[in-house]
Amino acid sequence: MQKNEQISALILAGGRGSRMGHVDKGLQPFQGATMVAHVLERLAPQVGAIAINANQNLARYEAFGVPVWPDETTGFAGPLAGLEAGMRHCATPYMVTAPCDSPFLPRDLAARLFHALQSQRADVALAVTQEVGMRKQPHPVFCLVKTRLLQVLSSYLAEGGRKMDGWYADLKVAEVQFDDNDAFRNINTLDELHSLDTARAPKRLHDVTSCLSGYDPDALPVRDAQRIIREFVSPIASIEKVALRAALDRVLARDITSPISVPAHDNSAMDGFALRGADLRADGPTTLKVVDTVYAGRPSGATPAAGECVRIMTGGVMPAGCDSVVPQEFVARIGEADITVDAGVIRVGDNRRFAGEDLMAGSAALKKGRIIRPADLGLLASLGIAEVPVQRRLRVAFFSTGDELRSIGEPLDAGCVYDSNRYTLYGMLQRLGCDIIDMGVVKDDPQALEEALRNACENADAIVTSGGVSVGAADYTRDIMARLGDVTFWKIGMRPGRPLAFGKINSNGHSAFLFGLPGNPVAVMVSFYFFARAALLYMMGADAPLPLLKVKSAAAIRKKTGRTEYQRGILAHDANGGQHVSITGSQGSGILRSMSEANCMVVLHDEQGNVAAGDLVDVMLFEGLV
């Protein structure tokens, strides 16, 4: 659904919550977030801007990264007071409203109301529903209004009017019928809130896997595993505002709309002379009189007449009437006050940068879900934006399992190995921008494993483990995970990294998504990149798909159809400057050195067979991968 930049949204959270025990309804927890967070998530993609009307807990509402406007009418006037405050502050010609206690509102609410308003040439559009055998039910708190009607509403309130459907009695109203009655229900009591939270509980793994035909956990294709994970995990809803410099590598939580045009004025793209294009002769040199000089940041009040020009520096505001700039190296000076321009040196309009050429005021500068890069910092700075709304950092706990593992600095007994997986996981999670909790090595002991999982669950949004999920793993691993939550064990059609555990566990009112990776070092990295990475980014609200390049294979590669293979590769240039990829050598899942030598991963999909030299293959570069 494309957002409409002409519409702002206002969430009505200014009530007294009398039917909910005088608690702030919008801030009540619901399905892992607050009710107002659910409303924000549904409304934000539909409109150009969004704000909240609230009269208490203002700081908590401001933490969502949107403006908060209290009632300005004296005396409690219900939702109409919030509507009036919104219309006073709204900068767009239209405003749509929705209450904070309707977390299931339609995702096409603004678009359908706007279409009805325009097509019926109405002043107000509102949602209506109709149950079988019942009369139409209007929902005036779900409405779209023209903000120029503020005076009509203010006069109604000044005369003592308080009915939500009373202020537009003399206006033209368009009714839009929606089929989903539940989308417009208000949650008015705590009991109702709790019952709905249970009734619309998050999906179980079975709900997702049952949608796949031929689902077999012991022979699961890579694509199906990725799809199940994506459909089962859910994003975190917490937002915070940070200073511009602290926003680097964070995930943008709201669309950024440009408050100004960049550049603000037509200006010169280089040092030279600003002139009127109509003065340029096509049949010979043009002589112009220089009447003023314009520097960047110091506009001129001069308006050159025919036959005149202005000396101008790069970034200088174009004088009135001038539409072109001739670079200074292309002119001949005749004394101090005149220049000559040869025919054909420039065309009309050359070297002029238009106001808003980079960004127009009101246009989208950056989209929600973007991972903020250095260029974005500069863009935001050019707009004068000092604070940026970003997603809270995802908290991820990780640990390794196995009696044979030793941490660096411990003596290496016979049959033991140093734990390398925690360091590769640390690096990959650090690059994702997560807040990470390193829980060390957990021994092969049921009590220790359960304690570690519970501790991780109570302190993190996600848990990543390595080891303990293969066929030979102790049975208690499955028993513990099944007791703590909804976890499945897969054998995936891939090489390396066949075993994988995935699900969600719970402990003392907390929950976390679990990614149980294999124990072999290369398999850990492959499984993380192609399963856990996308899920963690989705939880962070980030839009960062895995980049794959098409590159020629330098040599033949043996490959069986029916499984996905990930082979370590080295991307290089040939003598002609073209790119090709070659395999590092032995592809054993325990050879971590090969991952260090490689600069990419060659992805050979299920349906692919043997690769011939010169064939194109998909390649994932390691450098720059978050």
List pLDDT tens digits, range 583-624.
Answer: 987 666 556 677 788 999 999 999 999 999 999 999 999 886
pLDDT at residue 35 tops 90: no
- The arithmetic mean of pLDDT across residues 9-30, rounded, is 72
Task: Give residue-wise pLDDT tens across range 52-90.
Answer: 999 888 988 998 889 999 998 877 668 899 999 999 999
Residue 171 marked in a binding site: no
pLDDT at residue 17 tops 60: no
For 297, the token pair is 């940041």
- The arithmetic mean of pLDDT across residues 527-547, rounded, is 91
Q: Which residues are registered as beta bridge partners of 125?
A: 144, 174
111 compared with 16, residue with greater pLDDT: 111
- The arithmetic mean of pLDDT across residues 282-295, rounded, is 94
118: part of which helix (H) or strand (E)? Answer: helix 109-119
Distance CA 297, CA 191 (A): 62
Mean pLDDT of all residues in the chain?
Answer: 88
CATH of 395-539, one of 3.40.50.2020, 2.30.33.40, 3.40.980.10, 3.40.50.2300: 3.40.980.10
What percent of the chain lies above the pLDDT cut of 90?
A: 60
Delimit the domains of the chain by residue range. 4-184, 239-259+362-391, 267-353, 395-539, 549-625
Question: According to the model, what pLDDT value does residue 380 have?
Answer: 94
The CATH class that applies to domain 4-184 reads alpha beta
309 compared with 136, residue with greater pLDDT: 309
Question: According to the model, what pLDDT value does residue 625 have?
Answer: 65
Question: According to the model, what pLDDT value does residue 483 have?
Answer: 85
Instruction: Give the pLDDT band (50/70/90) at residue 199.
Output: very low
For 496, the token pair is 């390396």
Q: How is domain 239-259+362-391 classified at the CATH fold level?
A: Molybdopterin biosynthesis moea protein, domain 2 (3.90.105)
In 3-state terms, the chain is what percent helix, strand and coil (to 5)? 25, 30, 45
pLDDT at residue 190 tops 50: yes
101 compared with 199, residue with greater pLDDT: 101
Asked if the domains 395-539 and 549-625 are classified in one and the same CATH topology, the answer is: no
Say which residues have a Cβ less than 8 Å from residue 214's Cβ, sequence separation at least 6.
Answer: none
493 compared with 20, residue with greater pLDDT: 493
pLDDT at residue 343 tops 90: yes
Instruction: Give the pLDDT band (50/70/90) at residue 413.
Output: confident
Question: According to the model, what pLDDT value does residue 198 have?
Answer: 46
CATH of 267-353, one of 2.170.190.11, 2.60.120.260, 3.40.50.11540, 2.40.170.20: 2.170.190.11
Query: What is the chain's Cα-based Rg?
Result: 31
Write the DSSP symbol of residue 616. E
Residue 362 marked in a binding site: no
Question: According to the model, what pLDDT value does residue 409 have?
Answer: 87
SS3 call for 388: strand
Residue 101 marked in a binding site: yes
pLDDT at residue 251 tops 90: yes
- The arithmetic mean of pLDDT across residues 44-52, rounded, is 93
CA angle 624, 436, 39 (to 5 degrees): 90
CATH of 549-625, one of 3.40.47.10, 3.90.1300.10, 3.20.20.10, 2.40.340.10: 2.40.340.10
Q: Are 406 and 508 in contact (CB under 8 A)?
A: no
For 282, the token pair is 């096509």
Look at the pTM and tell me if it is higher than 0.75.
no
pLDDT at residue 16 tops 80: no
Burial (0-12, 13-18, 19+ Cβ within 10 Å), 419: buried
Question: According to the model, what pLDDT value does residue 587 have?
Answer: 66
Residue 197 marked in a binding site: no
For 424, the token pair is 């590769």
Residue 71 marked in a binding site: yes
Q: Are 142 and 105 in contact (CB under 8 A)?
A: yes
pLDDT at residue 32 tops 90: no
pLDDT at residue 526 tops 50: yes
18 compared with 399, residue with greater pLDDT: 399
For 429, the token pair is 């999670």
Task: Give residue-wise pLDDT tens across range 432-471.
Answer: 999 999 999 998 888 999 999 999 999 999 999 998 776 5
Map 295-317 to HEC letters. Answer: ECCECCCCCCCCCEEEEECCCCE
Residue 13 marked in a binding site: yes
Question: According to the model, what pLDDT value does residue 269 have?
Answer: 95
83: part of which helix (H) or strand (E)? Answer: helix 78-89
Say which residues have a Cβ less than 8 Å from residue 9's Cβ, sequence separation at least 6.
Answer: 43, 44, 46, 47, 49, 50, 51, 95, 96, 97, 98, 110
pLDDT at residue 200 tops 50: no
Q: Give me the amino acid identity at 621.
A: L
Distance CA 210, CA 2 (A): 32
Instruction: Give the pLDDT band (50/70/90) at residue 171.
Output: very high
